[in-house]
Structures are given as C-alpha cells and as structure tokens.
Amino acid sequence: MTAVAIVGGGIAGVSTAAALRSGGFVGDITLVDAGEFPYDRPPLSKDFLTGAKTLTDIALQRPGWYDDNKVRLITRRTVTALRPGTGQVELSDGTAVTADRVVLATGGRAVRPPVPGVQSERVHVLRTAEDALRLRAQLQPGARVLVVGAGLIGAEVASTAVDLGCAVTLVDPVRPPLAAAVGPMTADWLHRQHARRGIVTMRTSVRSLLDDSGLIHADLADDRGSHTFDLVVLGVGMAPDTAMAVAAGLDVDRGILVDHTRTTSNPAVLAVGDAARVRRDGIALPRAEHWEAAQQDGVRAAATILGIDPPADGAPWFWTDRHGVHVEVVGAMAEAEHTVCRGVFGEPPFCAFGLSGDRVVAAVAVGDSTAARAARRLIDRAVAVHPEQLTDTAVDLKRLVRG
C-alpha cells in the first residue's frame, strides 16, 4: 500500500488521516477539502454563529499538523470523479490524484423540503461555515426569526438567536422533539426551556414561504393564517452526499453502503462519516449522524487499510448545548424498560438513567459530564446495578464501574 486519497475534510476524513499516521502508515496520504481548511462543525450553530469564535478557532488541526504528519492537503477544490478501476481521483481543477485506496468522507447537505419559497435568500440552512456567516449577518437584534425543526440544529440555532437579541418562533410537528433519543420526559423538559427564554413554540409545519420586499410570510399548517418574519432557518435534517458513489457504481441506499470495516461494494473504496451506512447481515442500519460516530468511522477505516483489528464498538454518544445547558446522551433510550433520575429532575445537574433489567442501556446527563462518562462505561461493560445505586448521589459512580 503506497497511497491513500481521502475525499472530504470533516471530522471523519481528518480522523482517517490521523489514525493512519498514528498507526504507522508510511505511504502517501492526500486529503481533498472544498473549503479553506478542515474545520469542526458543532460550533457552527453556537460560538461561531455568534462570532465568539473565528474559523481558525474551530480548525480540526493546527496549521502545521498536515505538514508535520506528511498529509498532502488540497483545499478549495472538489472531486469531480472517482475511478476505482484506475486508482484515479479527478479534481475540479483538472488534475488527478492517484491512490491505491480511496476513503469517501463526503458528508451531506442540509435538506430543503419541497415547500414553495424555500430558495429565498432569507431562508437559511446551516451546514457549512459559509452558511453560518450568511445567517449571522441577518441575526440582528430585534430580527424576527422562524426556525423550522426543533431537533439538535434547530434548537441550538433558536438558543443562539435569542442570545443575539432576536425574537424567535420555533415550529415542529413532533411533540416533544428528540423523544426517541432522550425519552419523552426529558425531551419535554428540554423543549419547555425554549418558552422560558421567550421563544414561541408551535406544534405545526410550514406549507409555504413567500419572500415579499425583504420579509418572509410563512403559511403554517395549523391554519392560523400567515406569519411574518425577517428570516427563516431550516433545521429539518441532512441528506448524505452519495452522488460520487453512485457515479462510481458503488452500492447506495440512502447512504453509501459499507460493511463493518467501512469497505464499500468496491474493495478499493471505503466510506466514513455521515455519508456512510453500515450493512450488517444484509440489512442496512440507520446512519449515525453524530460527531463521535464520524470520528470513530475514520479510526475504523484506517484500521482496515492498516490491516489491524478495529476498535470495539462502544455505546453511542452525542451532545447538544442550548440555553446555557450542556446535555450528553449515551446509549439507546428506546431500549430502556424504565428510567431513574440522579439528582432532582429538571434542576441541573441531573442525569436520567435508562435501564433494562439490572443493566444501564442509556443515560441523558444535563450539566453532568461525570455521570455521562460513568454511564458509558456501565453500558460498555454490562455492569449490573441497582437503581438505588444510581439515584443516591452519595454513591460514587466510578466505584460502580469498577465493581
């Protein structure tokens, strides 16, 4: 193995390059990114959107890291074609990169639903730094903002917009949002925090948007008539970028299909991150669209290229920050038979543990990272616990992990 080309400079692509080098790979590594340099995406809805952090502040690696690790970084260019049969990756400037293995870390694009008016310049999505800069310019104090979708991105943008002095309306037909991930009770508490910050929440969807002289008139599905806003932010999901995989003849089904090693239907090509979808025993699993899942994908792809065992799967983990509260979610709350709370529910810090029998299968920690870390170890090690051990704040959770 002499050369690897990585297409995409998000956390999955950069993690692949880092894991290859740390694992002893001595061949050529080329990383192609369409932006100025690879940067982290979670801050786009928070500190970067407010202007508290610059693009340099959210770089995934320090400027000299790529040279120090002999990673050829090609920026401001895209890949126009992937030709696995010849080992060629063609770039938008007409040049090509030759590689023995290609790793697709193409990510995805923010969804614009098929609603009239969504292409207006005052209707925003948030996926890139450029998206965030355009949105920031319109998030002026007093601006009337409609946020469509109360999932992670929508809730975070709503929180940031309030911090910037905007008047925010948040709509979502699901009530409460995120119930499948955090459980109905915690999801309801999280959603109620919006109202406490002055955000108007509506259980509805948008039928149409009309841009009229710099204002957006939104027709909502609850038949309350037209509502007027200065701008709209769509937070209704992400579509994986599979166009290159389709053109290269790879198996695709709402994501680039890969096995547990992150290898696609062509053994010379791997796929990682938001664009990848694992197929196990012939069944395509739901895509994992969180930061750590993408980071671990890069590590697994690197292990495949290096010919070593990949790390063991652990409990999934993600986080969100809104209204001054840090929330961490571990495991699968949908698998819980019942929940117990450590601390006073609704008064951070607290943690809701989901149990199946005498095993922790999930946890939602609000302002309590220590509990989140302990819960993850309890899940990964299948430690038997009694609910009272979890709810008693005098019990050291670390001792439960050690048994």
Per-residue confidence (pLDDT) for residue 63, from 0 to 100: 87
Render pLDDT for 299-355 as a digit per residue (tens, 0 to 9).
999 999 999 999 888 999 999 999 999 999 999 999 999 999 999 999 999 999 999
18 contact partners, CB below 8 Å, separation of at least 6: 61, 69, 298
Domain range 123-234, CATH class:
alpha beta
Q: How far is CA 112 from CA 1, 126, 237, 376, in A?
A: 41, 11, 9, 35
3-109+238-306 belongs to CATH 1.10.10.60: no
Q: How far is CA 61 from CA 3, 11, 27, 57, 185, in A?
A: 21, 10, 20, 10, 39
Per-residue confidence (pLDDT) for residue 182, from 0 to 100: 96
Domain ranges of the chain: 3-109+238-306, 123-234, 324-402
Assign domain 324-402 to its CATH architecture: 2-Layer Sandwich (3.30)
Q: Model confidence at 402, in pLDDT bands (50, 70, 90)?
A: confident
Instruction: Give me the amino acid identity at 395.
Output: V
Rounded CA gap, 95 and 92, in Å? 7
CATH topology match: 3-109+238-306 vs 123-234? yes
- Helical segments of 209-279, H only: 243-247
Q: Model confidence at 86, in pLDDT bands (50, 70, 90)?
A: confident
Enter the DSSP assignment of 185.
H
Percentage of the chain beyond pLDDT 90 is 94
Question: Quick one: CA torsion of 186, 187, 192, 197, rounded to 10 degrees?
Answer: 100
